[in-house]
Structure 1
Amino acid sequence: MAAVIETDVAIIGAGPVGLFAVFECGMLRMKCVVVDALDAVGGQCTALYPEKPIFDVPAHPTISAADLIGRLEQQAAPFSPTYLLGRRVERLARDGETIELGTSAGDTIRCKAVIVAAGAGAFGPNRPPLDGLPGYEATGAVRYLVARREEFRGKRVVIAGGGDSAVDWALSLKDVAAKVTVVHRRPKFRAAPETAAQLEAAAARGEVEMAIPYQLHGLKGDGSRLEAVVLATLKGEEREVPADHLLAFFGLTMELGPIAQWGLALDRHHIAVEPATCATNVDGVHAIGDIATYPGKLKLILQGFSEAAMAAHAIHPRIFPGEALHFEYSTSKGVPAAAWEAV
């Protein structure tokens, strides 16, 4: 339902950096609304690799993407953010000192500052050109991401693609699926050499079937329930692979969407910011995480976390004009009691 919401800061993007921005703003007594085009928080961590381990988050020698998002949600929870999911911000306007955002669901957000934490922008899967695709997408027979691998237990799964996602999920699902078939147009994969070698070894042991050199050619079923995937070579030779699910990993189509029309200074589809504050050239709008760029920028989650803190401190004077901000460490300042109750 469309709503009119008054808040201090609007955060566009509910990925890890956007979630940490809620915490940093909350520590400075600033309320946040978070908007994301996906139906769940987590951004690409949730949509693309929830079960993959991440190794460069401080204090976590290894942590799965899903667990990282869960902990960031827990960290943000004491500050009671409002989440508007399954919609994207389409409009930015000004009303005096107030910034007004409009979403695709008709919501209006009135705030004093905006933090764009939209990763690489709005993204969606590259879909294979197959007849009847929408019907199978609607039932989950054809998918472009894996949220829970348990959903594929005992199922016949065809995985198409030659990159990291295809190889990683083939290795992961072979232990739960009844059968995994990997479809690729050539023997060489674009995945990391180590995991590509693991896939080759799994195929040699009969744990994974390799359909090479084949491409997707068609879907067989009743329009919603999948029965088989039709493959074809470049020479037109066809074969059918019985399947309950097709996972198509052909990468993502990424774009800034309506954000590109806001007058922001762009640098190769990224938003140029001032490194010390993450401020853009549009007053009151900051950008952090993968979507932000400046000299020396590293596309690391941990750098995005730092940018969230810098943006929050830079925004504070807009929310509390004339109030001196005395920097305090969290160890001495503490956090709301609810944060400890949730641990």
Structure 2
Amino acid sequence: MTDMPIETDVAIIGAGPAGLFAAFQCAMLRLRCLLIDVLPEVGGQCVALYPEKPIYDIPACPAVEGAQLIANLEKQIEPFAIPRLLKHRIESLTGHRGAFTLGTDKGAQVNSKAVIIAAGAGAFGPNRPPLDGLDAFEGTGAVQYYVRRKADFEGRRIVIAGGGDSALDWALALKDKAEKLYLVHRRDRFRGAPESLRLLDEAVAAGQIEKVVPYQLHALRGQNGVLEAVEVADLDGATRALEADTLLPFFGLATDLGPIARWGVDTVRSTIPVVPSSCETNMPGVFAIGDVATYPGKLKLILQGFSEGAMAAHAIYPIVNPDQALHFEYSTSKGVPAA
């Protein structure tokens, strides 16, 4: 890292799947770009939270694990040698359309003509269940909020708590590895894709998963951070002890946009409203894509983030090249430009 400012056409804040594909789209238009992320590696939540979790709604990929998706995106941008600024958090954004200055927490300065915010959910952390003595079990790994290696759960007695996609997906992914797997939810109705619900019913019928409904977490039993049982309670207060050595609570993430909320960009409940056709925010020259962007009809799907990255790149082209008309060409016709 030098003391000289980094000069680029497009500063992309966030190197998750949406940010990586936006970099590809910018490079295809011969726009210089820089990927910036607070994490030590690219990939965002796909790598940090669920590298081995299968993703089923990426076009042309019947199933792809999070880490593999990122590896594929990395291979796609490899010909362009796109620079990265990792382990840096953008603290400040000043300037105007065509001439922005970004400052990081490490003292680096980036000068760019446009900005793409692809920050996902922003800074994230798990919503922790309000259980006495939770810290001791977190410290030993008996309570975990993310699954990074499925092999770590081989032969374990697992309680998964939650009623959304994460709870369902991990219950289905770990059912063949666990000695016993309980799925706890406060009601016998889960929020998930129809196919996931169908697979859950099949796994329950086959005895691979035991649904514990309507119950919610009540207490943890064990000593010195070693979990022996998870106590659950029904709506009337009656309790039941589930013998287990691992608890995986999936109650969503607490998110925080951090410094982004102070830049003058409009925000609504940790998201950034954008113009649907270009993904431009209320600040001319600043765009938002992926989970952090919102507009009527928005779907929080990785594939929609890919589309938004393409729209933002094309909207940025005239900012960087005001005197040049962009003639749209398909990649099948023009191929990949030389770096």
TM-score bracket, shorter-length normalisation:
0.7 to 0.9
1:55 aligned to 2:47?
no
Query: 1:198 and 1:114 mapped to 2: Cα distance?
Result: 42
Instruction: Please say which of residues 252-261 and 148-157 is displaced more in the overlay.
Output: 252-261
Over 3 Å counting, the alpha-carbon distance change for 1:240 and 1:60 in structure 2 is closer
SS at match of 2:92: strand
Query: 2:199 and 2:38 mapped to 1: Cα distance?
Result: 35
Q: How many pairs were matched up? A: 336
Q: What RMSD, in angstroms, separates the aligned Cα atoms of the two structures?
A: 3.5
Instruction: Please say which of residues 140-149 and 169-178 is displaced more in the overlay.
Output: 140-149
Over 3 Å counting, the alpha-carbon distance change for 1:246 and 1:33 in structure 2 is farther
SS at match of 2:159: strand
Mapping 1:136-147, distance limit 5 Å: 136-147=137-148
Per-residue CA distance 1:228-249 (angstroms, 9 max, x = gap): 2431315555554443322111
- For residue 6 of structure 1, report the CA deviation from its aligned partner: 0.8
**Normalised TM-score (structure 1):** 0.80
Residue type of the partner of 1:265?
D
Query: In 2, are the aligned partners of 1:15 and 1:119 still within 8 Å (CA)?
Result: yes
Q: In the alignment, which residue of structure 2 is the partner of 1:230? A: 230
Query: 2:309 and 2:227 mapped to 1: Cα distance?
Result: 47
Instruction: Please say which of residues 125-134 and 167-176 is displaced more in the overlay.
Output: 125-134
Q: In the alignment, which residue of structure 2 is the partner of 1:341? A: none
Q: In the alignment, which residue of structure 1 is the partner of 2:22? A: 21
SS at match of 2:284: coil
Per-residue CA distance 1:196-223 (angstroms, 9 max, x = gap): 4543443343323344444323344555
- For residue 143 of structure 1, report the CA deviation from its aligned partner: 1.9
- For residue 161 of structure 1, report the CA deviation from its aligned partner: 1.2
Query: In 2, are the aligned partners of 1:54 and 1:65 still within 8 Å (CA)?
Result: no
Over 3 Å counting, the alpha-carbon distance change for 1:88 and 1:136 in structure 2 is farther
- For residue 73 of structure 1, report the CA deviation from its aligned partner: 1.7
Share of identical aligned residues, percent? 56
- For residue 285 of structure 1, report the CA deviation from its aligned partner: 0.9
Q: In the alignment, which residue of structure 1 is the partner of 2:6? A: 6
Query: 1:48 and 1:311 mapped to 2: Cα distance?
Result: 27
Over 3 Å counting, the alpha-carbon distance change for 1:38 and 1:154 in structure 2 is farther
SS at match of 1:143: coil
Query: In 2, are the aligned partners of 1:229 and 1:240 still within 8 Å (CA)?
Result: yes
Mapping 1:208-223, distance limit 5 Å: 208-221=209-222
Q: In the alignment, which residue of structure 1 is the partner of 2:159? A: 158
Mapping 1:271-310, distance limit 5 Å: 271-294=272-295, 297-310=298-311
**Normalised TM-score (structure 2):** 0.81
Instruction: Please say which of residues 67-76 and 201-210 is displaced more in the overlay.
Output: 201-210
- For residue 25 of structure 1, report the CA deviation from its aligned partner: 1.5
Query: In 2, are the aligned partners of 1:270 and 1:291 still within 8 Å (CA)?
Result: yes
Mapping 1:199-278, distance limit 5 Å: 199-221=200-222, 225-234=225-234, 237-266=238-267, 269-278=270-279
Instruction: Please say which of residues 235-244 and 274-283 is displaced more in the overlay.
Output: 235-244
Query: 1:136 and 1:269 mapped to 2: Cα distance?
Result: 30
Query: 1:238 and 1:296 mapped to 2: Cα distance?
Result: 42
Over 3 Å counting, the alpha-carbon distance change for 1:114 and 1:247 in structure 2 is same
Over 3 Å counting, the alpha-carbon distance change for 1:307 and 1:172 in structure 2 is closer
1:129 aligned to 2:109?
no
Query: In 2, are the aligned partners of 1:219 and 1:226 still within 8 Å (CA)?
Result: no
Query: 1:193 and 1:334 mapped to 2: Cα distance?
Result: 38
Over 3 Å counting, the alpha-carbon distance change for 1:262 and 1:171 in structure 2 is same
Query: 1:230 and 1:293 mapped to 2: Cα distance?
Result: 38
Query: 1:229 and 1:3 mapped to 2: Cα distance?
Result: 55
- For residue 21 of structure 1, report the CA deviation from its aligned partner: 0.7
Query: 1:138 and 1:321 mapped to 2: Cα distance?
Result: 55
Instruction: Please say which of residues 73-82 and 134-143 is displaced more in the overlay.
Output: 134-143
**Any stretches of 5+ residues in structure 1 without a counterpart?**
339-343
Query: 2:122 and 2:82 mapped to 1: Cα distance?
Result: 22
**Any stretches of 5+ residues in structure 2 without a counterpart?**
none
- For residue 127 of structure 1, report the CA deviation from its aligned partner: 1.0
Over 3 Å counting, the alpha-carbon distance change for 1:157 and 1:85 in structure 2 is farther
